[in-house]
Structure 1
């Protein structure tokens, strides 16, 4: 019998669990009533910005023809690729969503957004299909998410997932910014009351506390941040670094994230 089959990776003795990607989510979510998905650059940061403006967000696994058809069926705006969106379109960029939702852009009228992402969206959808309560967390709303969990957990275990990115070949690339975002939620939970955290969850909280005072600089210098800067999207990082700026808690109800 493999270690996976014995369940040693489930972190089941702990109130708060932490792991990476879709596979990790599938393992540690077993028996957990709440799953928190973290994808700082950029799915859950963009999600939190959309929620601030009252926009409901439909996570979608792929950005393809089926996503366009799905968006049309929901009378929603489809977030396209950053290069396709240009200066005025809506993409996975939180800056583009803020500009569209706060001004006279299409999101200001529609208030519905389909947000494709192979990481954060895919994990959110998969966890909801398993029956978990799924929350979206970023550095912007980690404190609000933690407060909601503290109030509503009722003894349930919580699985916190760092979405990560993908290497060529679709292999998981652990992305440190997602560990920081997950750690922010965990550190906030620890501030409310005594809870049992797995060693993995405790490590994520420690990683966040290490960069808490230098979030913008750390996000700019990590691999994902440097990639965004090199591609001309460095302005997104400033939005991701807006710690404790959002009090909205996105909950995936049916097909869409709405405010708790």
Structure 2
């Protein structure tokens, strides 16, 4: 892997912020932990699944290799939102996960948050969303992370433009990242990088985060596809206390 340039690492700051897989790899090489934010919908779905007692495998691809991976790991496989059936009731939709019986292990493919989570190596990976931002921030502080000596990298997954392998920054992930950064910074001892300060300021300046997410491009996309409930669940701010941490390849509640 190509070494990351010095300017990309945001050195000297306890909480750092970046976008996408490249950003996660830039920060992950020297952070104590990476927090992945994919509000619509991977990390929100992880929070819902982990609340129900399910442990979640992140997987980057929704293809035949995902089915092979699930079989090899004695896990159920989440399918596409529109492919849910009685035999496979699990998908990336948080609403479908709430309705479905909770398996012990679930493979949850996603090209954004899941792909980033699976790619980061060597440090703990935490799945955060608006639903559990405060719980994640509190847990990070409890570990002694978020200092200049033991920094945390907060990564907004973003989306991809249709039919293009290019990042589309998504405001719901910016807001989710800002919520986590605020939860850490509220303890008063975390020096924030300029990027992290901007994400935090965006979150703190918005008086109605659920309404903003509902009317965002990603929110409108899911609503047009008939998944309004997923948007509603994603905007359940601080409704969850689970802290899903990637342990032996599985997101498991660390609290």
Could you tell me how far apart the structure 1 residues matched to 2:240 and 2:4 are? 40
Deviation at 1:5, TM superposition (A): 5.5
Please list, as runs of the form range in 1=range in 2, the aligned pairs for 1:88-237 lying within 5 A after superposition: 89-100=89-100, 105=101, 107=102, 110-127=103-120, 130-154=121-145, 155=147, 156-167=150-161, 168-211=163-206, 213-237=207-231
Which one of 196, 219, 239 corresponds to residue 245 of structure 1?
239
Deviation at 1:83, TM superposition (A): 1.0
Could you tell me how far apart the structure 1 residues matched to 2:225 and 2:56 are? 25
Could you tell me how far apart the structure 2 residues matched to 1:235 and 1:247 are? 20
Q: Is the 8 A contact 1:12 1:28 kept in 2?
A: no
Q: Is the 8 A contact 2:20 2:155 kept in 1?
A: yes
Could you tell me how far apart the structure 2 residues matched to 1:89 and 1:51 are? 16
Determine the structure 2 residue equivalent to 1:255: 249
* Residue ranges of structure 1 left out of the alignment (5+ in a row): none
Determine the structure 2 residue equivalent to 1:39: 38
Query: Counterpart of 2:135 in 1: which secondary structure?
Result: helix
After superposing on structure 2, the runs of 4+ consecutive aligned residues of structure 1 that deviate more than 4 Å are none
* Residue ranges of structure 2 left out of the alignment (5+ in a row): none
TM-score normalised according to structure 1 size = 0.91
Could you tell me how far apart the structure 2 residues matched to 1:11 and 1:28 are? 8
Query: Counterpart of 2:198 in 1: which secondary structure?
Result: helix
Could you tell me how far apart the structure 1 residues matched to 2:211 and 2:105 are? 32
Deviation at 1:6, TM superposition (A): 4.1
Greater share of helix: 1
Could you tell me how far apart the structure 1 residues matched to 2:51 and 2:5 are? 42
TM-score normalised according to structure 2 size = 0.93
